[in-house]
Amino acid sequence: MGLVNRFFRVVRSSLNEALNGAEDPEKVLEQTTADMQENLLQLRQAVAVAIATQKRSERQYDQAHNQAREFYNRAQNALAKGNETLAREALGRRQTYLETANALESQLQQQQTSVQQLKANMRTLEAKMAQAQTQKDMYIARARSAKASQKLNEMMTQVNGGRFSQVEEKILAMEAEAAAAAELSQLSQDSLEQKFTALETGQNPVDTELAALKARMQLPEG
């Protein structure tokens, strides 16, 4: 359990450092889960090796016990036939195998504890890996959503201001220039019409206005 906890502390530390930097969060998450997958694969391989070693020790233990039992039977047979020297030699060989079996038994206990711990760590890491995969997908979705929102905000900024505002100001200026030109054109047209009217009636505007003034004052025409 300590191995798995240490591993996740390292993963969290690396992830935090990367996210605090300028790296793409999606790439960081993908790399982190890939590293976790690689460590899970290595742990599974370690479990497989530990189990294989335990099985080999178990076979050696059984062989030592079988050999010890075999030489004990031989010692009994030799003693039954009156060959005490051969019986003693057989018991000596039996003792050697018993010592080997005892040593293997102690080793097996350690290996069994180690295998159990490795299996527990592997199950924990598998569960954490599944959880991390789910969280990774969630964080990636959030990161993509944040990118999309950021892009949308940038576009809205351009619409509400920036280039669009510049274009709007340019259009307003062009519209104002066009209105001014139209007004000047109308004034010029009105003046021209007045001149043609005076020409067609043969009257001078000043004379016309003077006559109107005399009429109001009831003066005779000069």
Evaluate whether residue 8 is within a structural domain: yes
pLDDT for res 137:
79
Burial of residue 43 (CB within 10 Å: 0-12, 13-18, 19+) is buried
Q: Is the entire prediction scored with pTM above 0.75? A: no
From start to end of 106-188, where are the E strands?
Answer: none
pLDDT in tens, 33-84: 788 888 888 888 989 999 999 999 999 999 999 999 999 999 999 999 999 9
Instruction: Judge if 29 and 65 occupy the same domain.
Output: yes
Task: Residue 180: give the domain boundaries.
Answer: 167-217
The length of the chain is 222
Domain count along the chain: 2
Residue ending a domain, among 115, 136, 160, is: 160
The single-letter code of the amino acid at 154 is: E
